[in-house]
Amino acid sequence: MTKFSDLTRLPDAQGHFGPYGGRFVSETLSFALEELEKVYLSLRDDADFQAEFDRDLAHYVGRPSPLYHAERWSNKIGGAQIWLKREDLNHTGAHKVNNTIGQALLAKKSGKPRVIAETGAGQHGVATATVAARLGLKCEIYMGAEDVERQKLNVYRMRLLGAEVHPVESGSRTLKDAMNEALRDWVTNVDDTFYIIGTVAGPHPYPAMVRDFTSVIGREAREQSLAQIGRLPDALVACVGGGSNAIGLFYPFIEDEEVAMVGVEAGGDGVETGRHAAPLTSNAPSGVLHGNRTYLMSDASGQVSETHSISAGLDYPGVGPEHALWKDVGRVSYVAANDDAVLEAFRELTRIEGIMPALETAHALAHAKVMAAAMRPDQHIVVNLSGRGDKDIHTVAKLDGLEF
């Protein structure tokens, strides 16, 4: 039985989280990753770097983000108290910017004048374009052609910020294909380019590095819970695409055994239909994609499966390797929320609390609602409100039969 305290000592030196993670990349990238690892490890414990990071988070991002008691929604559900960690209030509107600020500082310290990123919903692309504008870095974003269509608003936002957005036409034309294309760019331009990966996936050291940068969410939430609830919450809930907002919230609580954790994947039309993006919930076999070993949706011959979700940001066939291990050791449970329930949660939070969540985030809300209903009013759930929903108004309007 793995002691939960052991989970804080991962990954190992080769970037493995138990059987998962690692550095499965073509040789051309090995050197870049070794360099990145060196720079990251030297700065991680560097007081000046941390101070600069914290300063940016405070004055540019607007941290700490509030922990908000959704009292009216909790009362309506009639069970546990639901608290929302308001990452939607960050500059650029999602949790992604925490990581992006950190990696952009690394890019600057490494003397790389150009940054690239993949994006699904466009939130990570927007966050990257934003920090690139601020630091005067050249910025190019890869985005699946289907997502360019679904997330027009964010595409234009990125262009206004000075980024070049490349629609990716290969494969399933979504997030995984954008990541393939970003990796191809990186091997070609490795000398002057820093690849800012947007989630806790990719080859070592990305999963650990992105986790460390986003963990500010959980550190704040832990303190805020003690101050506002008077104790640790009973449960944490977050949506899981690659898994960065979930890891950011969960990681600082990992040794608090009394705190249950639930990651909510994209159930699409329902996990039983096969049309989903829920590798953990569906018990997908382990596989290797984008530099790491993890639960990976692929067919019997190892071809990576196309995924289905109403939310572009969760439409990914793999998941961060640390989540894979957390599932195996039973530290976190993983479930899926279907598109229907997600839309209902989106509308409900908007109408009852005046907070319009991103469709990604609405997955966490849909499941939190189910959990809360089965709990007592003196129990507490913290949900990571990972992003705001402005970017999704288009998608929802379309379902309502409206076009702008």
Partner 1 sequence: MTMNRIDQRFAALKDQSRRALIPYITAGDPAPQHTVGFMHACVEAGADVLELGVPFSDPMADGPVIQKACERALKHGTRLADVLDMVASFRETDQTTPVVLMGYVNPVERMGYETFVRRAREAGVDGVLMVDMPPEEGAEVAPLFAEHGLQSIFLLAPTTSSVRAATICAHGEGYLYYVSLKGVTGAASLDVEAVARQLAPLREMTDLPLCVGFGIRDGETAAAVGRVADGVIVGSALVSRIAENAERPEAIPAALKAVLGDMRDALDR
Ligand X SMILES: Cc1ncc(COP(=O)(O)O)c(C=O)c1O
Of the residues 65, 353, 386, 391, only one is catalytic, namely: 386
Amino acid at 169: E
Whichever of 249 and 319 has its CB closer to partner 1, that residue is 319
Minimal distance, residue 347 CB to ligand X, in Å: 17
Q: Which listed option, partner 1, ligand X, none, makes contact with residue 133 (CB within 5 to 8 Å by class)? A: none
Minimal distance, residue 143 CB to partner 1, in Å: 16
Minimal distance, residue 134 CB to partner 1, in Å: 29
Q: Is the dihedral angle over the CA atoms 66, 385, 294, 289 positive or is it negative?
A: negative
Q: Which listed option, ligand X, partner 1, none, makes contact with residue 26 (CB within 5 to 8 Å by class)? A: partner 1
Question: Where do contacts with ligand X occur on this chain (CB under 6 A)?
Answer: 94, 96, 120-121, 123-124, 199, 239-245, 313-314, 358, 360-361, 386-387
- Give the three-class secondary structure for 102: helix
Whichever of 49 and 124 has its CB closer to ligand X, that residue is 124
Whole-Å CA distances, 113 to 29, 109, 125, 264: 18, 10, 17, 37
Active site residue 386: yes
Minimal distance, residue 269 CB to ligand X, in Å: 19
Whichever of 109 and 152 has its CB closer to ligand X, that residue is 152
Q: Which pairing describes strands 20-24 and 291-295: parallel, antiparallel, or unpaired?
A: antiparallel
Tokens of 31: 């050197």
CA neighbor of 308 nearest in space, from 333, 284, 280, 279? 279
3-state secondary structure 283-332: CCCEEEECEEEEECCECCCCCECCCCCCCHHHCCCCCCHHHHHHHHHCCC
Q: Which listed option, partner 1, ligand X, none, makes contact with residue 298 (CB within 5 to 8 Å by class)? A: partner 1
Q: Which listed option, ligand X, partner 1, none, makes contact with residue 184 (CB within 5 to 8 Å by class)? A: partner 1
Name, in order, each residue with C-beta under 8 angstroms of 255's C-beta and a sequence gap of 6 or more: 4, 5, 7, 8
Secondary structure percentages of the chain, helix, strand, coil, to 5: 50, 20, 30
Minimal distance, residue 337 CB to partner 1, in Å: 26
Q: Which listed option, partner 1, ligand X, none, makes contact with residue 358 (CB within 5 to 8 Å by class)? A: ligand X
Question: Where do contacts with partner 1 occur on this chain (CB under 8 A)?
Answer: 14, 22-32, 34, 170-171, 176-177, 180, 183-184, 187-191, 285-291, 293, 296, 298, 300-304
Of the residues 118, 146, 181, 360, only one is catalytic, namely: 118
Catalytic residues: 96, 118, 386
